[in-house]
């Protein structure tokens, strides 16, 4: 007979990137997990996974079993939630993913407050370089930037402009760009390689003026940057800019404190680069739990205030 632990095992193998990660999520050792998997395969009379020295991969039968097991576990969890709905207590595990820097600085403190409001919840918070697009092994995903081709619902939590910045020392030595085209002549640029975006292509347009001094907003310009420095970490890029290594296009949330301290200066203030809003990705209402709905309401209220 298939036990609930068997379904949890299969769902963990589908959700986690490795056998050791699946073992950690179930609080068992990898050898114990392998033994349980072999017993399950004997019970079912099927090969659920292929094993190599480096990794474990689900077979087609294993993936089907894991997906159906995950769906059944979700129904069981939903039944428990429906029985507890009257007293509004939230229980179970809520899994949230967010980018490293923003998640560490902004989301983690919010989740601490959320956890205090719902002491029956277990919070699993994963920081990743690119939480989306990824396998949807989280209940909710914080993403910064445009969202394309997602079956999940995207809810904008906060606007987030991108600012072009450099250190005062760099600008004294190399001059301050007055118009976007200046960036391409005589300046070093620091770029951040993330997702599959073309990070050497910057789009910019003149910012709209207040009505009292309104002028027609200019057409969007495209700058093809030849980067002097490239990194996949936004904090590294900002630190390099603070050390005078070049111009960096950085999210408002990350650059604002450095500008306030005076270690960075915003340039081309009258121009707008493509923004990168802070977005919450959640399942459609049909697949949404009470835990996720409570998180949505909490985050929207927190960002709104």
Q: Are 155 and 147 in contact (CB under 8 A)?
A: no
pLDDT digits (tens, 9 = 90+) for 114-124: 999 999 999 99
CA distance 254 to 40: 48
Q: Please count the CA atoms within 13 angstroms of the CA of 126 that sit on its side-chain side.
A: 24
Q: What's the whole-number mean pLDDT along residues 70-81?
A: 75
Give the model's confidence band at 153: pLDDT under 50 very low, under 70 low, under 90 confident, else very high.
Answer: confident
Provide the 10 A C-beta neighbour count for residue 234. 22
Say what the pTM is: 0.68
Residue 49 corresponds to which tokens in the numbers above?
């996974």
Helix/strand/coil percentages in the chain, nearest 5: 45, 25, 35
Q: CA end-to-end span of the chain, whole Å?
A: 52
DSSP at 87: G
CA distance 120 to 90: 6
Q: Is the pLDDT of residue 14 over 80?
A: yes
Give the model's confidence band at 217: pLDDT under 50 very low, under 70 low, under 90 confident, else very high.
Answer: low
pLDDT at residue 212, rounded to an integer:
44
Set out the domains of the chain in order of their start, with CATH numbers: 1-83 (1.10.10.10), 87-159+276-304 (3.40.190.10), 162-273 (3.40.190.290)
CA distance 167 to 264: 4
How far is the CA of 146 from the CAs of 30, 58, 125, 155, in angstroms?
38, 32, 22, 11
**3-state secondary structure (DSSP) of residue 224:** strand
Alpha-carbon dihedral sign for residues 22, 59, 66, 150: positive
Least confident piece of the model among 142-151, 199-208, 223-232: 142-151
Q: Give the containing element (helix H, strand E) for 98.
A: strand 92-99
Q: What's the whole-number mean pLDDT along residues 250-268?
A: 95
């Amino acid at each position: 007979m298939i036990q609930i632990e068997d379904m949890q095992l299969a769902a963990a193998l589908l959700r986690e990137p490795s056998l050791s990660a699946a073992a950690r999520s179930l609080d068992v050792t990898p050898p114990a997990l392998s033994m349980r998997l072999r017993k399950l395969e004997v019970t079912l009379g099927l090969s659920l996974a292929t094993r190599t020295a480096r990794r474990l991969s689900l077979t087609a039968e294993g993936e089907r079993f894991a997906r159906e097991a995950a769906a059944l576990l979700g129904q069981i969890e939903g039944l428990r939630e429906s029985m507890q709905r009257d007293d509004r207590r939230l229980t179970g595990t809520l899994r949230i993913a967010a980018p490293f820097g923003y998640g560490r600085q902004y989301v983690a403190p919010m989740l601490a407050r959320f956890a205090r409001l719902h002491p029956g919840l277990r919070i699993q918070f994963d920081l990743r370089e690119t939480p989306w697009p990824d396998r949807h092994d989280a209940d909710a995903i914080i993403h910064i930037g445009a969202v394309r081709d997602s079956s999940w619902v995207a809810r904008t939590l906060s606007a987030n402009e991108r600012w072009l910045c450099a250190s005062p020392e760099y600008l004294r030595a190399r001059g301050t760009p007055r118009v976007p085209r200046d960036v391409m002549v005589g300046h070093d640029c620091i770029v951040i390689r993330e997702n599959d975006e073309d990070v050497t292509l910057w789009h910019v347009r003149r910012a709209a003026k207040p009505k009292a001094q309104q002028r027609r907003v200019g057409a969007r310009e495209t700058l093809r940057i030849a980067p002097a420095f490239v990194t996949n970490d936004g904090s590294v890029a900002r630190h390099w800019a603070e050390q005078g290594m070049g111009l960096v296009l950085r999210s408002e949330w990350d650059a604002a404190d450095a500008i306030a301290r005076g270690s960075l200066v915003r340039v081309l203030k009258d121009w707008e680069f493509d923004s990168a809003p802070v977005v919450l990705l959640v399942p459609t209402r049909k697949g949404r739990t009470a835990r996720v709905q409570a998180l949505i309401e909490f985050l929207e209220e927190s960002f709104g205030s």
